[in-house]
Amino acid sequence: MREREMHSKPWDSNQITREYFDSLLVEMRHIDAVLPSTKFELYGKTFDTPIMMAALSHLNNVYENGMVEMAKGALAANAVNWAGMGDKAEISAITATGAPTINIIKPYADNDYILKRIEHAERCGVMAVGMDLDHSFGGNGKYDVVLGEEMRPKSRVELKEFISSTKLPFIIKGVLSEQDAYKALEVGARGIVVSHHHGIMDYAVPPLLILPKIAKVINNQIPIFVDCGIMSGMDVFKALALGADAVSAGRVIMEPLKKNGSEGVKNQIIKMTEELAGVMARTCSKDLSSIDPSVIWHRKA
């Protein structure tokens, strides 16, 4: 029996996602091709790449002041930085680097606390805020508890309250269905993240499998971001071709961060962006908006 088969975990959403990435093939198109641009615009700002940081948190076990180092790396690469669960002091330190940052806030049980976190993020000068709703429940069907903090699912009424409390764009993370995409538009979200939160549920649909359906629902009204399993510029290209505006890279950043701090983060983003540009050049994609979904083929089993 081959090693891959021996270690196969058919329920593992991360494995399913990786296998789906690898099942997607890409045409080459050379006639009329030009040097491509990877410039990316978001909420009135222009970046050199559509590769963003993932909404990570608590990286001090990876590198001292890891979240701040990650932000510095993103800034040096002219990329969007994201920040997840962290205290107010950490969000302040992250934004003090000057890195354009999106702060994702957990769906805490206490809505007043959420509103205070949104207010603090706005005072810190973040470019957007949001919420990862996929942390509402644990795998036991009870409310999730994250680092001792109890979570709660949020209704459309509650989400509208959060959105109306700030002038910042509000992003809903953890959208993995057409139904939630429709609801995100209804409540006034300014962006969504198509994600299963690194396999938070077994047998979850790979983000890229459902992405075209979600993109059809969104219909270019708000940005679509994708995370989970982005490991290379080729992965980024496939996500963009299937309907994403940008992607978040998380675990692929960890080793460079651990070895070289912000410099490692910057270099990894640049490397992946160059890989993306290489695929764009060979598919006649002059810029991000010119990536044609018809270049993607699905390999049959």
3-state SS, residue 73: helix
CA–CA separation, 53 vs 115, rounded Å? 24
> What is the arithmetic mean of pLDDT over 122-133?
98
State yes or no: is 7 an active-site residue: no
> Is residue 293 in a domain?
no
Q: What is the pLDDT of residue 278?
A: 98
Q: What is the pLDDT of residue 161?
A: 98
φ/ψ of 46, rounded to 5, equals: -115, 135
Residue 2 has pLDDT above 90, yes or no: no
Q: What is the pLDDT of residue 51?
A: 98
Tokens of 167: 């002038």
DSSP string, 212-262: HHHHHHHTTSS-EEE-SS--SHHHHHHHHHTT-SEEEE-HHHHHHHHHHHH
CA–CA separation, 80 vs 100, rounded Å? 6
> Is residue 273 in a domain?
yes
State how many domains the chain has: 1
> Is residue 78 in a domain?
yes
Non-local (6+) Cβ contacts of 7 within 8 A are none
pLDDT, tens only, 186-231:
999 999 999 999 999 999 999 999 999 999 999 999 999 999 999 9
Question: Cα dihedral sign for 270, 53, 42, 99?
Answer: negative
Q: What is the CATH number of the domain that holds 98?
A: 3.20.20.70
Q: What is the pLDDT of residue 5?
A: 43
DSSP string, 150-177: EB----HHHHHHHHHT-SS-EEEEEE-S
Q: What is the pLDDT of residue 300?
A: 80
Q: Measured in whole angstroms, how far is the alpha carbon of residue 202 from the centre of its chain?
A: 19
CA–CA separation, 202 vs 16, rounded Å? 10
pLDDT band at 6 (very low <50, low <70, confident <90, very high): very low
pLDDT, tens only, 238-252:
999 999 999 999 999
Range of the domain at 172: 37-287
pLDDT, tens only, 130-177:
999 999 999 999 999 999 999 999 999 999 999 999 999 999 999 999
> Is residue 298 in a domain?
no
Residue 181 has pLDDT above 80, yes or no: yes
pLDDT, tens only, 21-40:
999 999 999 999 999 999 99
pLDDT, tens only, 101-119:
999 999 999 999 999 999 9
> Is residue 59 in a domain?
yes
CA–CA separation, 79 vs 101, rounded Å? 9
CA–CA separation, 84 vs 10, rounded Å? 29
The three state secondary structure string of 113-155 is: HHHHHHHHHHHHCCCEEEEEHHHCECCCCCECEECCEEECCCC
Instruction: Report the 10 Å Cβ neighbour count for 280.
Output: 26
Residue 8 has pLDDT above 90, yes or no: no
Instruction: Report the 10 Å Cβ neighbour count for 230.
Output: 27
One of 30, 197, 198, 298 is an active-site residue; which one? 197
Write down the pTM of the prediction: 0.96
Half-sphere exposure of 159 (CA within 13 A, CB side): 22
> Is residue 248 in a domain?
yes
pLDDT band at 66 (very low <50, low <70, confident <90, very high): very high
Mean pLDDT (the chain, rounded): 96
